[in-house]
Amino acid sequence: MLRYIQSHCYNLGGDKPFQSRHINYVDGFAGAGKYDDGFGIEDFVEKSNFWKRYNIDLLDTDGSPLIALKCAQVFRAEKRVNLRCFFAEAHKKTNKELQANCLGIGNGVECKIYKPQRFDKTFPQIIEDLNEYPTIFFLDSFGVKGINFEQIGMIGRYVSRFKGELFLLFHNSSVARHAGYLTQKSDNERMKKIAGTYMQNLTKMLGPNSDEDWKPKWLELKDEPQQFERWALDYFTQRIANEGQFNGVASFDIKERYTDLRPMYSIVVGSNHPRKACGEFLNDFFADENKLLFYEVDKSKKNRNFLQQAWERQTQQRKSEIKPKIIQLLKQRNQQWKKMDDVITDLILTLGSQGYDLGYLKRSDYRTIMIELFTEGIIQTESLGKKRFPTLESKVKIV
């Protein structure tokens, strides 16, 4: 979120016709604003030439609300854009902690913390407060309960009119756990009622009448919960794409370790401008996230060793696997001259709908493949760069 907020605001913040002097950030389930344990942001900032330029006191324990406020402080000092922050947290005690943690951070920044109540109660007020400015919505309900498909649709309608993105954390294991109540046997009336509530919450999130689809699928896959989780994620993203009024929808699995076969959760992104948001920013951000899985920590937990050979081996394997698919897509879609930069974006977005998630490869890796195709005589170009290869600005097409 740190990297995306910065890229989003630098791209959309300004005085050009497509830009705005004000941009909103909405955290619908903000929590206390801080973590008890760190997750590595200090290490990231220390190694980033970009972030080291700024006097921004990002701490490992900062949650998304504090990250947003500190970013807003930077943008305000630059006179680039006014990032307006809106935080909702239903739990009374946690809401008080959020207010205390945000106090004094981002002085002069527009910030509103709503009173503790369910998100569906706060949501209409949030929409009213946005003043039709471009908005990033970040929703992590920590499970299934708390967000429903109708609200996602309202967010889709908002960003389709006023620009922005939705980031929603899809909790894979929680989805399977809720579905599991369908086959849970109990004569206890209280347990039957609880099971009914859990299943209703899942239906509300996946969309109206989704129980007609997810219930038979769970009966089919109840012994393979990971397969059901994958099905549910694909079903959810497809419905958002078809019914949510976003111009593009993508997802990315979050892993803790490279060997994880069952991600705990995924990020679902709905955008009004997916070419820029997904095809450029998020593709490379997620590729960098994948690269972090190749850091090995020793037993002392003090030294991190990057597994360079393993990383290079995976990258080469992925390039080899995807190259024939790229040739096939170019034959279908690239009969006319088009800038190579735009062709790469087309490939990323199309492959994303064919099982190759955002971040499968970096844009620079796709460019390497395109150069190989040029040297092999598979694509041709109207112009060459100084090194006698096509550049990102060169127009190319399939031979």
Of the candidates 232, 267, 297, which is a domain's last residue? 297
135 and 218 within one domain: yes
Residues 259 and 154 in one domain: yes
Specify whether 390 is located in the same domain as 315.
yes
Three-state DSSP string of the chain: CHHHHHHHHHHHECCCCCCECEEEEEECCCCCCECCCCCCHHHHHHCCHHHHCCCCCCCCCECHHHHHHHHHHHHHHHCCCEEEEEECCCCHHHHHHHHHHHCCCCCCCCEEECCCCCHHHHHHHHHHHCCCCCEEEEECCCCCCCCCHHHHHHHHHHHHHHCEEEEEEEEHHHHHHHHHHHHCCCCCHHHHHHHHHHHHHHHHHHCCCCHHHHHHHHHHHCCCHHHHHHHHHHHHHHHHHHHCCCCEEEEEEECCCCCCCCCCEEEEEEECCHHHHHHHHHHHHHHHHHHHCCEEECCCCCCEEECHHHHHHHHHHHHHHHHHHHHHHHHHHCCCCEEHHHHHHHHHHHHHCCCCCCCCCCHHHHHHHHHHHHHCCCEEECCCCCCCCCCCCCEEEEC
pLDDT higher for 123 or 45?
Answer: 123
Q: Are residues 249 and 204 in the same domain?
A: yes
Enter the pTM of the model. 0.91
- pLDDT tens, position by position, 192-215: 899 999 999 999 999 999 999 999
State which of 244, 269, 297 marks the end of a domain: 297
| pLDDT of res. 40 | 72
| CATH number of the domain bearing residue 341 | 1.10.10.10
pLDDT (tens digit per residue) in 270-303: 999 999 999 999 999 999 988 988 888 766 666 6
Pair (233, 320) in one structural domain? no
Q: Do both 55 and 178 map to the same domain?
A: yes
Q: Are residues 286 and 321 in the same domain?
A: no
Question: First CA to last CA across the chain, in angstroms?
Answer: 41
CATH assignment at residue 94: 3.40.50
Looking at the structure, tell me whether residues 183 and 201 fall in a common domain: yes
Calpha distance 6→129 (Å, rounded): 22
Q: Are residues 213 and 285 in the same domain?
A: yes
pLDDT digits (tens, 9 = 90+) for 135-157: 999 999 888 888 999 999 999 99
> End of a domain among 297, 318, 333?
297
Quickly count: other Cβ atoms within 10 Å of residue 16's Cβ: 8
- Of residues 166 and 36, more confidently modeled: 166
**252 and 105 housed in the same domain:** yes
The answer on 216 and 133 residing in a single domain is: yes
Domain that holds residue 368: 306-398
Beta-carbon contacts of 260 under 8 Å, excluding residues fewer than 6 positions away, are: none
Query: Could you report the per-residue pLDDT of 385-398, keeping only the tens digit for each?
Result: 888 999 999 999 99
Count how many domains the chain has: 2
pLDDT of residue 27: 96
pLDDT tens readout for residues 223-268: 999 999 999 999 999 999 999 999 999 999 888 877 787 888 899 9
| Position 349 pLDDT exceeds 80 | yes
